[in-house]
Chains A and B, each alone.
Chain A
Amino acid sequence: MNRTPAFYGLFFLVVLAALLFRVSGLELRPMHHDEANQAVKFGSLLEEGKYRYDPTQHHGPSLYYLTLPFAWIGSGTSFASLSKVTLRLVPAVFGAAIILMLLLLKDGYSPPALFFSGILAAVSPVMVYYNRFYIQETLLVFFLVGAIASGWRYLQERRWGWAAAAGFFSGMMFATKETCIILFAAATGSLVLVRVLGGSIKSRENPESKEKNSRRATLVHLLVFGGTALAVSILFFSSFFQNPRGILDSVLAFKTYFGRAAGAGFHSHPFPYYLKMLAYSRYGNGPVWSEALVLILALVGCAAVFLNRSQQMSERLFLRFTFFFTILATAIYSLIPYKTPWNILPFYIGIILLAGQGVVFLLNLSRKVIVQSLVILILGVGLCHLGLQSYRANFIYSADPRNPYVYAQTSPDFNNLVQRVEEIARFHPEHKQMLIKVITHPDEAWPLPWYLRSFGKVGYWQEVEEAGPLSDVPLIISSTDKVDRLQLQIRDSYQSEYYGLRPEVLLALHIRKDLWDKFIKERTLK
């Protein structure tokens, strides 16, 4: 396979397939607690044009600002008319764009290696699953690939444009998620290790190279890189100069995130959590999940980094960089006690790149057609298996706890609660302006604020005693452990129902009897 129109044609087909996989059925999975948090935060930017960076929650601003064009096109400027499909299109489109961005790594990677990496990224269950999740991870990976690719191209060509691009992507990484410093550390460490092991990337020979390689030019390029990164992060964190305090907060946020990383609480998981999840997972009577193929191919790719001498020096150095970056990023993410499965993405892209290299290494082991056919056959079966798992993960088990990537996910039964609230509102004279009191623990309130966004009067309390008079409220939604105290006030004048919020977590919906009777009467007449 060469860098010909055929290669680009095939590569674009892979990107197109990845996009279709990511944008199909985005409405299937109920909004996750975290997605709803992000969506409500975005709602105030959409409707009021206000965004204020919070150093304790939600991560960086880029997700919200980049959602704006999607929302304007898909739903206008009303938060109530915004759909979860519109929101999830943001990571879905950027998820497919990650694969497209791999093309910038040409010269560092051979076209076949890029092609196979692209296919693996397109069908990887964990990549597809979280590319359909309205959180920051997909954007972080997109900007990471952009930063590495631009940095790589700069080192080859020493043009200020690439330095500015690398700065832009680095600034966007910071404006996406503060924990990008893990990736910066891994990238810096990898550059040092590549250098220590011998070799530096020389720019291509051209008439201007002497001048461009001069110390002064390098210093200017460094300033361009740093200045662009700084400017981008200042723009976003200050809400485009509406909230200058955000710039300081973006630095103070590290205190929060360092604290969270150390005191992980119930998100604390052992070192091999991520790799084990990728290698083999099975919960209850659910199917076996495994991306072992990618891991094994990545191991072959690691061997290829040091064994294969056929590559050009620059390619070899870039492979070494990818190797060290992946090892360091995986190790750091695994060492941090705080773990959530979507944090796999930033280091998994490195594993996928190494796996692509592994495929090429295996194909080049022998020139015998039978050996190459066997490799292609095994790879084909493996890719089908990955694709099947992706399909299962996103279209059958998208909210099922037997899917390893389902983490504190809202149960599908929650949709029934929302449907009931909508049904009851039809019988209230004020319809969606009826009063709804939500009395729950804070983490049991979500994703209600998203689903009840079109209701005009919804209040949230943590204790029954704080919620004021309750005996005449049309609808009350409560945590189950508050039902007994609630019963003292509402007695038998409400019909109560239970709904699943998450595994092991239920919500009780209390419907005022007159509304319930009207609802049942209409249902009986039907």
Chain B
Amino acid sequence: MIKKSDSLVFTILLFFLFFLSPGFGFQDTGQEKVELKLKLPKPMFVGTPRNIRSPNLERITGKSRPPFYVPKGTELLSLDKPVTSSDTEPVIGDLGFVTDGEKSGEEGYYVELGPSVQWVQIDLGRSCSLNAVLIWHYHSQARVYRDVIVQVSDDSDFITDVQTIYNNDHDNSAGLGIGKDKEYIETNEGRLIDPRGVNGRYIRLYSRGNTSNEMNHYVEVEVYGTLSK
């Protein structure tokens, strides 16, 4: 049996415990707050870093890409197909380089388009069911191309029936909507995009400069698929 006096003491104790609990605002009444000073490590001073100017054709970034499976009968549709671009007068190279089958990272194998958002467009000749798109922007140097967006349509002006199959413009800086795909570092393996059988005659690929300079480049684009029935 609990005595009345014990209950009173217990209540007072509870009262104090309640008001002094860490979550209660009165706990630090009268106590001056000070900023918790974080002691963060300083940067190490190091000498001049390596100067890299030569191309790295066989850059190894880790594991090679796992096998990619496509429907039987899938073929390369883009080889030597006509290419148009937002930049009609490339700074370097020719738009034909995009589909000429040459994927070397050396000088003379890529087309350079001007700065800001630019696109190249491949005309497959007729509507096709697409099973894979493989892109090499520029793989002789580790760099990331910004706002890589790939769209498919039967409309050469990309006004109607536009389907976006890849978009890594995470901040909508290209103005075509926010994309959820990841940015990636260019390698000699190229970037493989799965269009999931989407149909279309025209493929349009956007980019907005890269981490090394503000220009846009294409070594090769390969579009695989089957002719639509």
Contact = CB atoms under 8 A, between A and B. Distances in A.
A28 to B, nearest CB: 14
- Which size class do A's interface residues fall under? 35 or more
Contact of B43 (A435, A460, A520): A460
Contacts of B51: 266-267, 407-408
A497 B169 CA distance: 10
Interface string B200-226: 000000000011111000000000000
Contacts of A413: 210-213
A37 B171 contact: no
A520 B171 contact: yes
A380 B75 CA distance: 62
A480 B44 contact: no
Given A443-B49, A506-B185, A284 B107 contact: yes
Interface string B175-211: 0001000110100000000000000000000000011
A128 B20 CA distance: 69
Nearest to B56: A504
A402 B170 CA distance: 31
Nearest to A407: B51
B56 A461 contact: no
A58 B171 CA distance: 40
A497 to B, nearest CB: 7
B43 A438 contact: yes
A503 B52 contact: yes
A299 interface: no
Contacts of B170: 495, 497
Given A445-B44, A504-B52, A504-B56, A412 B142 contact: no
Contact of A41 (B41, B45, B144): B45
Contacts of A457: 38, 40
B178 A459 contact: no
Nearest to A408: B51
A54 B213 CA distance: 36
Contacts of B183: 496-498
Interface in A478-507: 480, 495-500, 502-506
B172 interface: yes
Given A413-B211, A523-B172, A503 B107 contact: no
Contact of A411 (B48, B178, B211): B211
A285 B92 contact: yes
B143 A460 contact: no
Given A435-B38, A499-B211, A506-B211, A445 B142 contact: no
B47 interface: yes
A283 interface: yes
Given A480-B185, A498-B183, A504-B141, A283 B43 contact: no
A445 B56 CA distance: 23
B54 to A, nearest CB: 9
Nearest to B42: A460
A200 interface: no
A205 to B, nearest CB: 51
Interface string A209-247: 000000000000000000000000000000000000000
B229 interface: no
B142 A408 contact: no
A458 interface: yes
Nearest to B184: A498
A116 B61 CA distance: 53
A411 B40 contact: no
Interface string A438-453: 1000111110110000
Contacts of B210: 413, 500
A241 to B, nearest CB: 24
B173 to A, nearest CB: 9
A366 B50 CA distance: 50
B49 A33 contact: yes
A443 B38 contact: no
A520 B172 CA distance: 8
B43 A504 contact: no
Contacts of B48: 33-34, 267, 340, 407-408
A291 interface: no
Interface string A504-526: 11100000000000011001100
A37 B45 contact: yes
B61 to A, nearest CB: 9
B171 to A, nearest CB: 6
Contacts of B144: 498, 500, 506
A271 to B, nearest CB: 18
Given A285-B92, A497-B183, A504-B142, A524 B172 contact: yes
Given A40-B45, A285-B92, A495-B170, 13 more contacts: A37-B46, A285-B107, A340-B48, A407-B48, A442-B44, A443-B50, A446-B46, A460-B40, A460-B44, A500-B210, A502-B52, A505-B142, A523-B171
15 contacts: A57-B45, A401-B53, A407-B51, A408-B50, A408-B51, A413-B213, A438-B43, A443-B50, A460-B41, A460-B43, A496-B182, A500-B143, A504-B142, A506-B143, A519-B171
Interface of A: 33-34, 37, 40-41, 54, 57-58, 260, 266-267, 283-285, 340, 400-401, 407-408, 411-413, 435, 438, 442-446, 448-449, 457-462, 480, 495-500, 502-506, 519-520, 523-524
Q: Which 6 A-B pairs have the closest CB atoms?
A: A459-B40, A500-B211, A498-B144, A443-B49, A442-B44, A408-B51
